[in-house]
Amino acid sequence: MKATAEPITPDRGITAHGLRKSYGEKSVLEGVSLHIPEGTIFALLGPNGAGKTTTVQILSTLISADGGQARVAGHDLDQEPDEIRAAIGVTGQFAAVDELLTAEENILLMAELSHLDRSVGKERAARLLRRFDLTDDADKLVSTFSGGMRRKLDLAMTLVAEPSVIFLDEPTTGLDPRSRRTMWELIRNLVADGVTIFLTTQYLEEADQLADRIAVLDHGKLVAEGTAEDLKNRIPGGHISLRFSDESGLESAAGLLGSVGRNTEELTLQVPSDGGIPTLRAVLDVLDDAGVQVETLTVHSPDLDDVFLALTGQADAQKENVR
């Protein structure tokens, strides 16, 4: 792991040590430790059932952990849950909006429950509706809203109290690509305001796009942590994929290139590669000299998908092919 710059006020972010939680026999979290400096976006990445939501629920004071300690926004999780509640905002996986209220009423309800003055609440509601492009729909009942609009409103409701730490539990799950991009833009802008964001996602692209640091959670344990670059460097998943017009071409190329992944049905070979020109030229030279015709060639550089699949153990079959 690369060393990151020392945060100025480390206390105001999130720190957790050895969080454990089990439901009956089933262990959901097995000692999760995290450090999220103030003003950064952290992504917790993992497949369904890895324990992402449980981690958010513990850190946002919704449920208590069976073991471990944590500090959120400068307060101890066990001792000062109300101070934490006053400092955080939570946007869950399922939009937590009131369908029988209008968009504006939803935001004003949050303002009132955050004990803001009426005039301040009104002013913030107007500003948030404008910022999230919901002004024209401010007086419509939320039950008429699309999924994307609900998520935007949900985030707006979270922001009314101006929290310093925001938890976003799978904020774009189930959204169409356009709404997802809109959400990403909104989330990116939040950090400009200096808030700390704890994001969970099962989309690698989302973590790659948004997060300063990423941790991969699998079966209740962190299996990797670092920047997107760190994680990509850890898994040399890049390869060159060669396709041949017939089986004899495939066979002779496989003989020449040694230990490579082979797919006889699709007539392709996968040769491990760092994506650099010298390796590529070397492979082509060998095949040229032997007179083997290559139909198509694609270069696959390592992305977070390789990392994710390799680390969460879901890619064993596919990885065998590559090696």
Residue ranges in contact with other proteins by CB under 8 A: 60-64, 81-83, 85-86, 88, 90, 92-101, 105, 109-110, 112-115, 141, 157, 161
- Give the distance between the most distant pair of CA atoms in the chain: 80
| Closest approach of other proteins to the CB of residue 123, in Å | 18
For other proteins, give the closer residue by CB, 84 or 235: 84
Strand, coil or helix: 14? strand
* Residue type (1 letter), 119: S
Contacts of 122 (CB under 8 A, 6+ apart): 108, 111
| Closest approach of other proteins to the CB of residue 117, in Å | 12
| Closest approach of other proteins to the CB of residue 158, in Å | 8
Q: Is the dihedral of CA 282, 287, 291, 293 positive or negative?
A: negative
* Residue type (1 letter), 82: D
For other proteins, give the closer residue by CB, 96 or 297: 96
Residue listed under structure tokens 């939040």: 190
For other proteins, give the closer residue by CB, 90 or 175: 90
Helix (H) or strand (E) holding 209: helix 204-210
| Closest approach of other proteins to the CB of residue 214, in Å | 24
Strand-pair partners of 44? 200, 215
| Closest approach of other proteins to the CB of residue 124, in Å | 15
For other proteins, give the closer residue by CB, 88 or 103: 88
107 is written with which tokens?
Answer: 């935001």
For other proteins, give the closer residue by CB, 105 or 305: 105
| Closest approach of other proteins to the CB of residue 61, in Å | 6
For other proteins, give the closer residue by CB, 81 or 236: 81
Q: Is residue 312 a contact partner of residue 218, using CB atoms and an 8 Å limit?
A: yes
| Alpha-carbon span 228 to 45, nearest angstrom | 11
Ordered DSSP codes for 117-146:
-HHHHHHHHHHHHHHTT-GGGTTSBGGG--
